[in-house]
Amino acid sequence: MRNRVLKVLTIMIIMLMIVASTNKVFAANVSFSTSGGKFGTGGTEDLTVTVKFPDGVKNAQATVTVTFADGKSDSKNVILVSMGDSRKSVVFTPTAAGEATVRVHEAIDGSNNSLGEASAKVTIANSTPAPQPDPKPDPKPDPKPNNTVANNSTTNTTTNTTNTAANNTVKPEVKNPEFKTVNEKVYAVSNCNVRSSCSTEINDNKIGGLSKGQEVTRTGTSAKWSRIEYNGKTAYVYNTLLTTEKPEETEENEVENEVVEDGFKNELDLLKDDIGVLPEVGTNIATVSFVGIAIISLAVVLIVRFRITKNEIDD
């Protein structure tokens, strides 16, 4: 009888220690660093934002948004395909000097798990204008009126041409690559953006998104992009975010059957679910629970052994 009681108490202590230790939760977050960034008449220097994904993560992506001091903002996507390099960089052109806000958001891994957000303030410095030589004094006017008119006409024409070229400068349009025609069903590897053109350098070409496992028809492929049919329109998605393999629909049932086959494992999992905690505080609660349970269990064992020893002495 005494040995049975001690065995039961020992098993209870081991089970409680396992439950307390398995409740530790560690949250993974993205981070970023910046470099460069100047604005002014002396020349504008690009601002580089380098996103650091958690080690061991692949098929991850995030959106980087920079809001400059004049209220203008720009957003770009960073995509991590393999685990070889956990850092990805994007470049922004400052629109004003002063304090800018950099924000990394919509960060997820290949299993659609959120990787958190990160934001910080950065300073876009004023660049010093390049020194200009002293202007030369105006030459004396030509006494010949005809030549003066001709020179003024030439000068005005040159000035107008320069102003016209400066005012008509626009960003080049995005040119889509050549696509190989296909007709196949594909599925989204994770949540991703759908774009109206093959570029991640602009933000206004986002026309929607795909959820993980969503089926679409692919009509063409290039080295990096896939052409798909999206809500009756032609759209584009990165090749790495699509797969021809249909997602398994029986994974959840297989996991449940595996748990039911092992009675001891099932009881531990049920007990762990009852004591479940939030990710941010899981580690502290699990540690405190472990210490408290261990102290209570040790006290119970000592009391039982004390009573057993006392009964033997009295007998």
Q: What is the pLDDT along the chain (315 residues), one digit of tens a residue?
A: 667 767 777 777 777 665 444 333 334 578 899 998 888 766 788 999 999 888 878 788 899 999 999 999 999 998 887 766 788 899 999 998 889 999 999 989 878 888 889 999 999 888 765 455 656 665 666 656 555 444 444 444 444 444 444 344 444 566 788 999 999 999 999 999 999 999 888 778 899 999 999 999 999 999 999 999 999 999 999 999 999 998 886 554 444 444 333 334 444 454 455 444 444 444 456 666 778 888 998 888 888 888 877 776 665
**Is domain 180-243 annotated with CATH 3.30.930.10?**
no
pLDDT at 289: 74
Closest to 241 (Cα-Cα) out of 207, 219, 209, 204: 209
Instruction: Domain 31-126: give its CATH code.
Output: 2.60.40.10
Cβ-contact 203, 74 below 8 angstroms: yes
pLDDT at 134: 59
How far CA 40 is from CA of 101, 125, 252, in Å, comes to: 19, 8, 58
Q: In the chain, where does DSSP find H-type helix?
A: 2-22, 145-167, 251-261, 263-274, 282-314
Q: Are strands 31-39 and 118-126 parallel, antiparallel or unpaired?
A: parallel
Burial of 164 (0-12, 13-18, 19+ CB in 10 A): exposed
Strand-pairing partners, residue 185, are 217
Q: Are strands 225-230 and 233-238 parallel, antiparallel or unpaired?
A: antiparallel
Cβ-contact 104, 32 below 8 angstroms: yes
Segments making up each domain of the chain, as ranges: 31-126, 180-243, 282-315
pLDDT at 248: 81
pLDDT at 143: 59
Task: Establish whether domains 31-126 and 180-243 are of one fold.
Answer: no
Cβ-contact 102, 51 below 8 angstroms: no
Q: Which helix (H) or strand (E) segment is 201 a member of?
A: none
pLDDT at 279: 44
Exposed e or buried b per residue across 97-122, where buried means at least 16 C-beta atoms within 10 angstroms of its C-beta: beebebbbebbbbbeeeebeebeeeb
